[in-house]
Amino acid sequence: MKLIIIGGGFGGLRLARRLSNKPGFEITLIDRFNYHQFQPLFYQVATAGLDASNISFPLRKVFHRSRNIRFRMAEVQQIRTEEKKLVTNIGVFDYDALVIATGADTNFFGNHSMAENAFPMKSTVEALQLRHRLLHNFEDALSVKDEAELNKLMTIVVVGGGPTGVELSGAIADMKRFVLPKDYPELDFTRMKIYLLEGTGRTLASMDKRSSEDSRRYLEKMGVTVLTDSILKDYDGEQAILQNGTVIQTAMVIWAAGIKGNVPEGIDKGLIAKGNRIRTDRHCRVIGNMDVYAIGDVAFMEEPSWPNGHPQVAPVAMQQADLLAANLRRIEMKSATASLEEFVYRDKGSMATVGRNLAVVDVPTPKLHFRGFFAWMIWMGLHLMLILGVKNRFFVFCNWLYNYVTYDQNLRLIFKEFYREKKVEG
């Protein structure tokens, strides 16, 4: 079977590893980057807690011992399902089966002003750009004479009260408490304001109510102003205008409020569900396409327990990859279609860290809720296990340990040329 996998994220990489060195498969993994990105820790790169290389791993290195997998760094341009061809910027690939695991990107909900001026955080490059702007604002604040301009530079607005927004707000608050006053003794950080805007009635709305209450209490204790039932209407680079008419003067808005699937060209528009996700059956097969599959954030699958689709989180992608790997092996061995397994998502829980010694963890079965230091240790342990590569795990652990002991981290670097070039390319 000539199999092409688009995307080297949690789902695509997991599927490729499950089929590595399995007889009967010739696999091509395609991604626009040549490395796997550990998205749950983007916020630590953005806040100078980790180096970008610590959460990235070369995809080619993953398959050094694989005899049936080849990697190509390419941009997918179109899928021609009738011809069974994939068009990329480096050529056309034929396939017997195609798996779309392209993940999701930032969703600005059609607001072009927001897309132009707010900072997203869905890739390592974007996390580095965010870090650059965050640090550069404080450098600029040292030479600003106008009080209004100074207040803008020292005001940060994070949009979206999900795990990403909560973790990012908490990390910035920790910087404000432990690091920035030492780096910039000339600035008065009692003037620094951090806002977290959430459109629903509570933070971490997808988690247990106790986690929502704990996370809000932790953030407010750390100095974050949490505004629930607050929707950002517009941002022009200087003023964040809320739907209720409130105006926040700020030089930085970080967007963590929504994502949309990265759907390649060539997929029938009638198969696109809410959130720009591709409709699939319970076998991860794209509806109406026998040889095209979709897994992870880009896939929309209904099952009795999840009638509105699965949450766009890494465990869903990895579990779908495991099921699809088993089913593809059955298909390759000419097993009957009736023997294919249907996907059932097993929710093992969710978690979010808020700051130093603070996190929340929910376990659905048995129904358990943890908070504080113990939850923080669980969060760190699980993330260390999921990071790809022994060296990366070692360096992340060392960084965390050093940061915990010293209340500091030596990664607040501003690469001006890198930032300028990336903004031009973007």
Residue 52 has pLDDT above 50, yes or no: yes
**What would the mean pLDDT of 319-333 be, rounded to a whole number?**
94
Instruction: Say what the pLDDT of residue 101 is.
Output: 97
Burial of 406 (0-12, 13-18, 19+ CB in 10 A): exposed
Write down the mean pLDDT value for the chain: 93
Q: Which residues contact 82 (CB under 8 A, 6 or more apart)?
A: none
Say whether 293 sits in a helix, a strand or coil.
Answer: strand
The whole-model pTM stands at 0.91
Domain segments of the chain as ranges: 2-32+74-106+260-339, 112-257+357-425
Task: State how beta strands 239-242 and 232-235 pair.
Answer: antiparallel
335 pLDDT band, cuts 50/70/90, is: low
| CATH number of 112-257+357-425, picked from 3.40.50.300, 3.30.565.10, 3.10.450.50, 3.50.50.100 | 3.50.50.100
**What would the mean pLDDT of 213-223 be, rounded to a whole number?**
96
Question: Which helix (H) or strand (E) segment is 384 a member of?
Answer: helix 372-386
The percent of residues above 70 in pLDDT, for the chain, comes to: 96
Asked if 371 contacts 209 with a C-beta cutoff of 8 angstroms, the reply is: no
**What would the mean pLDDT of 359-372 be, rounded to a whole number?**
94
**What would the mean pLDDT of 116-142 be, rounded to a whole number?**
94
Residue length, the chain? 426
The 8 Å CB, 24+ separation contacts for 77-81 are 77/264, 77/265, 78/264, 78/265, 78/266, 79/264, 79/265, 79/266, 79/267, 79/292, 80/266, 81/266, 81/289, 81/291, 81/292
CA distance from start to end of the chain: 37
Per-residue pLDDT reduced to its tens digit, 279-290: 999 999 999 999
Per-residue pLDDT reduced to its tens digit, 151-196: 999 999 999 999 999 999 999 999 999 999 999 999 999 999 999 9
Asked if 153 contacts 137 with a C-beta cutoff of 8 angstroms, the reply is: yes
Instruction: Say what the pLDDT of residue 417 is.
Output: 54
Instruction: Say what the pLDDT of residue 421 is.
Output: 47
Between 366 and 420, residue with greater pLDDT: 366
Top-tier CATH class for 2-32+74-106+260-339: alpha beta
Task: State how beta strands 277-280 and 292-294 pair.
Answer: unpaired
339 pLDDT band, cuts 50/70/90, is: confident
**Residue 266, by phi and psi: left (phi above 0), alpha (psi -120 to 50) or beta?**
left
Instruction: Say what the pLDDT of residue 424 is.
Output: 46
Instruction: Say what the pLDDT of residue 426 is.
Output: 44
Residue 416 has pLDDT above 90, yes or no: no
